[in-house]
A and B are shown apart, each in its own frame.
Chain A
Amino acid sequence: MGKLFAVVLTIITVVATAIFVMRVWWLPADISVHGPWIDHQLMETMLSSGILFVVSQLALALFVWKSGDRREGRKIKIFPGGAVPMVVLATVLVGAEILALTFVGSKVWASIYQTPPDPNSLAIDVQAEQFAFYFRYPGADGKFGGIHPELMNEASQNFFGLDPAHDTAARDDIVVPTLAIPVNRPVLLTLRAKDVNHAFYVPELRIQQDFVPGLVIPLHFTATQPGKYELVCTQLCGLGHYNMRAYVEVMPQEQFDQWLKQQAAQQ
């Protein structure tokens, strides 16, 4: 029975690890400036914890294999050195790993969430609601109009609660259901939730952030590859949660300028 356990556990360990190593299912290619740091941190963690996983499972398998030995007169054996070296070793090894991961990892985290955005960032306002995302560009005046929740209305498509009648800054605001951004230009999003929690997640951009009602949350990144990507909601928001999505279109600057003009004309 011990040998069977050891064999089954070894097979499980080898198969599970092989699927990771062969990258049968893997992250989509990164398209952001900060993404390679996250991927690097992920690989570091994958490597160290992968070794820990394989070594612990195989040690368990090996010891179980050997402990099934039924020879007459075999005596039990205490682990060499007892518990103390084991405790010290685990504390030092895992401790060192934690320190290494924390020092590098907090820099990666800080570069995304704690550093101020580039002053030349393109500012875009994002509103999440059950079950859609809307994006607002400031228009020719470079200013966003004020937000008035009491004016928000789905039927008249006033998703942001703008008041163009009294608010000149709001008059040229461009509101669209797709997030278009120029490639290689820093983007600063301002996340607002209209009703409940939502989240902003674009796997290729390696970025995720909750929308929280009552909070205005900045999020900045730079996309490096033109293309069309899916933005999905990752915070449970109600029955249509699974269907809440938008597209992110990354395009060259000239094409973006053109696109913005077209959208302005259609408002």
Chain B
Amino acid sequence: MHEAAVHPHAPPQGFLRTHVFSVDHKVIGKQYLDLALVAVCTGMVLSWLMRLHLAWPTAAIPGLDKLSPNGAAGGVITPEYYLSLMTMHGTIMVFFVLTTAPFAGFGNYFLPLQVGAEDMAFPRINMTSFWVTLVAFLVLISSFFVADGPALSGWTAYAPLSAVGKDAGPGQGLGQTLWAISIAIFCVAQLLGALNFIATTLDLRTKGMSLARMPFSTWAWFITAVIGLIAFAVLMPACILLILDRVAGTSFFIPSGLVISDRLQPHSGGSPLLWQHLFWFFGHPEVYIAILPGFGIISHILPVFARKPLLGPRAMIGCLIAIAFLSYTVWGHHMFLSGMNPFSATLFSVPTLIITIPATIVTLLWIGTIYGAKLRFTTPALFCLGFVSVFVSGGISGFFLAQPSIDTYLHGTYFVVGHFHFVMGVAAMFGIFAGTYFWFPKMFGRMMNETLGKWHFWLTFIGVYCVFMPMHYLGLAGNVRRYSAFTDDYLKPLIPLHRFITIAALFTGAAQLIFLFNLIRSRFRGPKAPDNPWEATTLEWATTSPPPFDNFGGKPPVVQRGPNEYGVAGAGGADYLMQAAPEPAPAR
């Protein structure tokens, strides 16, 4: 570590500086996680409302008319309000949960600890990026309270629907502008965060922490930061162009000759496909921004509970890098039927299919790690196993959608909804759950309740299969997505299956209350956690639980070996060697 890189700030004094406007990466990490918790509760309630409406379109939901007198008069959701709920659900979940928790949250807390640093490279920028994220979230949420409701053009906000303004119907007024502003602000926060992650990984590693000795989770956060740096740098200008189209009369995404509500639009020369290209150039890497930290977390945690090293550590890191690189070559697979040149479909299809090779290898490495292991079935271990299963289920359906010829039938159906919920939604959530149960003792100095954790796992694991597997069947039957009601003749027979999904979603959602209860109760009442309760090797376990302000009490650890030393002869009969532990005496 460079001398100059030792961070200069002393422990803060006073409540505000310690807990609110803190520059400590650990406090900031927890703030991100708390924000994600609020966001995920909001997003999940929105999904319940949508599912209730899909199963029983005329049912009145008590109290909903208070939130939106126009969108849900008498508690019955209107078609436009359904689309608003859907748009907000997608936006909140993708940006403020799946990006915020596994990357910004856990990454902020544990990346500096895992590389043996005292803080992030730029603590003030780190604090700024959290508060900017919070502003983005508040701007988005505020759109629930504007006159014609939140945006309704989906989390993808396809132009020209998102660009032409009020003429295009409800949800296209201030709500859509706020959406674009919120996402542009969010991009700023992510860019600042990504820079910080990259600088910290490259510059602040402690003595002996070579790149090859970095834990898999650190690798994943580092690679994710590189992806994010490029992806958000494209989405931010795209959002600014969209805002300009909406408020300044420009025509980046609006062609000439559009007639909306019998009014010829005063725009010309723009291209709706330009928005799609810009959005998906961000959007596909975003899928990996959501899931790669999960890859890292699982690869980090699985060996701890398998009590053996991860199979193929170099192959794992190679696959993460390959996936990151390939993620930039596949965005057009979202656009096979968009009207882009059909010749390019094959061009985008091939790298999409090629991504399945590293993804398959990664999965096999996890399964191969479990082979012959002595598994300790703790809650985080169960969520790791669940992650592998749901990732396989979600990844397999990608095989279908990657092929333009099959996408011709399945595009725009529930098959796609089932696919991405499994692979980037549920899998990423399982990564977050595994990380939470695993790192909670370090973050709060207390253990979570194992019995409640296991109930949470079993109900969630079975629940998500009941919710998302049937969506594949719906898609095969041609069930179109983003419909607020199924009035078409061929869709009516599918309504019973939708009701099953709704009931399963409500049950699975209710099971999350167990997690919430466990989380809050353990924070105050959980039994005291030792420094290294899981007998893990990495540096975050080589300090107290929770760590002191400067992480290692002024004595930066000196790393002796990689993170993968399980199933070896350790000190005192242990079966592992910590990264910073001195070489044990040779056994006689």
Chain A residues at the B interface, C-beta cutoff of 8 Å: 1-2, 5, 8-9, 12, 16, 19-20, 24-28, 37-38, 41-42, 45-46, 48-49, 52-53, 56-57, 59-60, 63-64, 66-69, 74, 76-79, 82-84, 86-87, 90-91, 94-95, 98, 101-102, 105-106, 108-110, 112-114, 129-130, 149-150, 152-155, 161, 194-197, 199, 201, 203, 206-215, 217, 230, 232-243, 245
What residues on B are CB-neighbors of A91 within 8 Å?
357, 361
Q: How far is the CB of B264 from chain A (nearest CB, A)?
A: 5
Inter-subunit contact A199/B337 (CB<8 Å): yes
Residue numbers in A under 8 Å from B164 (CB-CB): 195-196
**B333: interface (CB < 8 Å):** no
Known A67-B374, A239-B78; contact A201-B480, beta-carbon cutoff 8 A: yes
A195 touches B349 (CB 8 A): no
Kindly identify which residue among B83, B400, B461, B484 contacts A8, using a CB–CB cutoff of 8 Å.
B461
Contact B477 A241 (CB under 8 A): no
B10-46 vs A, CB cutoff 8 Å, 1 = contact: the mask equals 0000000000000000000000000000000000000
Please state if B259 and A161 are interface contacts (CB–CB under 8 Å).
yes
Decide if A230 touches B375 in the complex (CB within 8 Å). Answer: no
Q: Collect the chain A residues with CB atoms within 8 Å of residue B314's CB.
A: 83
Q: Can you name the residue of chain A whose Cβ is closest to the Cβ of B256? A: A214
The reply to whether B399 and A49 form a contact with Cβ atoms under 8 Å apart is yes
A245 to B385, CA, bound (A): 44
B328 interface hit (Cβ, 8 Å): no
Nearest CB on A from B558, distance (A): 28
Give chain B nearest CB distance to A22 CB in angstroms: 11
- Report which of A79, A84, A95, A112 forms a contact with B408, defined as CB distance below 8 A: A112
Closest to A154 in B: B262
Does the CB pair B382–A78 fall under 8 Å?
no
Q: Are B338 and A76 in contact (CB under 8 A)?
A: no
Contact B488 A232 (CB under 8 A): yes
Cβ of B311 within 8 Å of any chain A Cβ, yes or no, is yes
User: How far does the Cβ of A211 sit from chain B's closest Cβ, in whole Å?
Assistant: 8
- Which residue in A2, A42, A48, A87 is a CB contact (below 8 Å) of B315? A87
27 contacts between A and B (CB under 8 A): A27-B478, A28-B477, A28-B478, A42-B400, A53-B393, A63-B370, A67-B372, A69-B374, A76-B306, A76-B567, A78-B308, A78-B372, A79-B368, A79-B371, A83-B311, A105-B404, A149-B259, A153-B262, A161-B259, A195-B168, A207-B408, A214-B270, A215-B339, A234-B412, A234-B480, A237-B161, A238-B168
Tell me how far the C-beta of A129 lies from the nearest C-beta in chain B, rounded to whole angstroms. 8
| Given the contacts A9-B389, A25-B497, A90-B357, A102 and B409 also touching, CB distance less than 8 Å | no
Say whether B477 contacts A25, CB under 8 Å: yes
Nearest-neighbour CB distance to chain B for A112, whole angstroms, equals: 7
Q: CA separation between A232 and B488, bound complex, in Å?
A: 8
With contact pairs A86-B368, A109-B346, A214-B257 given, residues A98 and B354 touching in the complex (Cβ less than 8 Å): yes
A214 touches B271 (CB 8 A): yes
Interface residues of B in 344-363 (CB under 8 A from A): 345-346, 349-350, 353-354, 356-357, 360-361, 363
Complex Cα gap A212–B257 (Å) = 12
A217 CA / B194 CA spacing, docked (Å) = 40
Cα A52 to Cα B477 in complex, Å, equals 23
Stretch at the interface among B120-128, B439-447, B468-476, B527-535: B468-476
In the assembled complex, the Cα of A86 lies from the Cα of B368 at a distance in Å of 9
Are B411 and A234 interface neighbours, CB within 8 A? yes
- Which listed residue (B153, B367, B385, B487) contacts A242, Cβ 8 A? B487
- Interface membership of B511, Cβ < 8 A: no
Report the bound CA distance from A237 to B350 in whole Å.
30
